[in-house]
Structure 1
Amino acid sequence: MKRDVILDTAARLFAERGFNNTPTSLLAKEAGVAEGTIFRHFRTKDDIFLTLINNVKNQLISDIEKYLEVRGPENALEKLESVIKSFYVFVKKNNMEFCLIFRDAPTRYGQRNDDVFLNIKEIYTYVTNYMKDAIDEGKAEGTIRADITSQEFADMLMSTMVGLVRAMHFGFIESSDDILKTVIESFSKLLTK
């Protein structure tokens, strides 16, 4: 229970103030626990950060799986559209948590084998692989052009989505379902015969 309160409070404070500007003394005060209690549950403040990133990753994967199960796409193009929509909706819904990824994560990992980096890469890889598989499936069923390079197109699509949600997060562009619709329509036109 206290562990969850610490995590919820840390997510809020890291989103509001940034990781570096949130001392564990403030975290303890805001969570209503002693500072020592934090370190009974987590080795370091970085361990709290890693746990939050890992939780975001696991929830995103779970939400995409649930969305696809409920929506039940009929063909590969619809599956691709569902993955794009579920990623977009998840990031919008979990803006506070993605603040950690967009703003603080790049300063929290130093090496490509760092746990924070690997968790964020796992999010990217998971979604990209789902897109690639949908493109491959569409090529096999004839709903997606055969001359498309599946991995490269999936990487381009995921990079576009990451850039889009990042730009919305920072307020460079206004969040809008019209933007999502335009992205889906544009990529659908590129993919279809």
Structure 2
Amino acid sequence: MKKKEAILKVATVMFANKGFVDTSGQELARMTGVAEGTIFYHFGSKEGLLLAILEKTRDEIVDQFEQFFENRPFASGLEMIEEVVAFHLYLAGLMEDKFLLLHRHFLYKFSESNQGFRQNLEAIYNCLVDIFEKAIATGRADGSISQDVNPRKSALILFTMVDGLVRFKNYNLYDAGALFNELMAMCRRMLRAECHDPSI
């Protein structure tokens, strides 16, 4: 692993778990086996390092969802929603430290004064919400999702539900897996078109 990649990997874990202020350049250097000056050579500052992590996280999340959708047929928009919710939860487990970092308050404080942070955070959340919105629009078109459902607002509500479950899991407050079936049932009740078949 190259030095720059090693620094990004270790710093992601440390920022996510210890926070920004409590992670020192000296500690990062010790954990990655490089001189502290090497970190500043590659990233300019600790804030620059955090921004590089955020950019990498954005790229990885977008790429993972693009791969997920590649050559994947869905029977309906409602099925697409169910698959997206399940994949989002899977991805949050796969990239646990990165999703934990996205729940850290200091990122949003930086975004108030640093356009780079704001743009990357917006890109991540827009990517996720847009996917939900696309699935809802598809479902409205194919009849599996009610015409009464507002695609954007409902996408935001769905994302908030799923992201809240991820937060529960990341902070060890509740077993997210125990709520999975109820989450899926809630999504169906919230979105689906009226159906008289009690088995659905």
| TM-score w.r.t. length of structure 1 | 0.91
Q: Secondary structure at the match of 1:109?
A: helix
State how far apart, in whole Å, the 2-side matches of 1:118 and 1:190 are. Answer: 31
* 8 Å CA contact retained: 2:43, 2:52: no
Aligned-residue RMSD, C-alpha: 1.7
Report the counterpart of residue 157 of structure 1 in structure 2: 158
Aligned-pair CA distance for 1:17: 2.0
Give the distance between the partners of 1:13 and 1:75, measured in 2 at CA: 41
What is the match of residue 106 of structure 1? 108
Aligned position for 1:141 = 142
What code does the residue aligned with 2:7 have?
I
Q: Against the structure 1 CA distance between its residues 151 and 91, is the aligned structure 2 distance closer, same or farther, given a 3 Å change threshold?
A: same
Letter in 2 for 1:181: N
Q: Deviations over 1:74-118 (max 9, x none)?
A: 22111111211111111112111222211242343324x632232
Listed as ranges, the matches of 1:163-174 within 5 Å are 163-174=164-175
Aligned counterparts of 1:58 and 1:181: Cα–Cα separation in 2: 30
CA contact (8 A) 2:100 2:167 kept: no
| Structure 2 CA distance for aligned equivalents of residues 16 and 132 of structure 1 | 32
Q: 2:139–2:145: 8 Å Cα contact kept in structure 1?
A: yes
1: CA distance, partners of 2:185 / 2:13: 35
5+ residue gaps in structure 1?
A: none
Question: Separation in 2 of the partners of 1:8 and 1:22?
Answer: 14
Which letter maps to 2:19? Answer: G
Q: Which residue of 2 is the match for residue 97 of structure 1?
A: 98
CA distance in 2, matches of 1:135, 1:164: 20
Query: In structure 1, what is the Cα distance between the partners aligned to 2:180 and 2:83?
Result: 11
- The ranges of structure 1 where at least 4 consecutive aligned residues each deviate by more than 6 angstroms after the TM superposition are none
**Cα distance in 1 for residues equivalent to 2:71 and 2:93:** 19
- Partners of 1:132 and 1:97 lie apart in 2 by 23
Quote the Cα distance in structure 1 between the aligned partners of 2:8 and 2:147.
46
Name the TM-score, length of structure 2 as normaliser.
0.88
Separation of aligned partners in 2, 1:140 and 1:9: 45
Q: Which residue of 1 aligns with 2:64?
A: 63
CA distance in 2, matches of 1:97, 1:55: 10
Q: Distance in 1 between matches of 2:4 and 2:73?
A: 36
Map 1:11-160 onto structure 2 (within 5 A): 11-69=12-70, 71-103=72-104, 104-111=106-113, 114-160=115-161
What is residue 191 of structure 1 aligned with on the other side?
A: 191
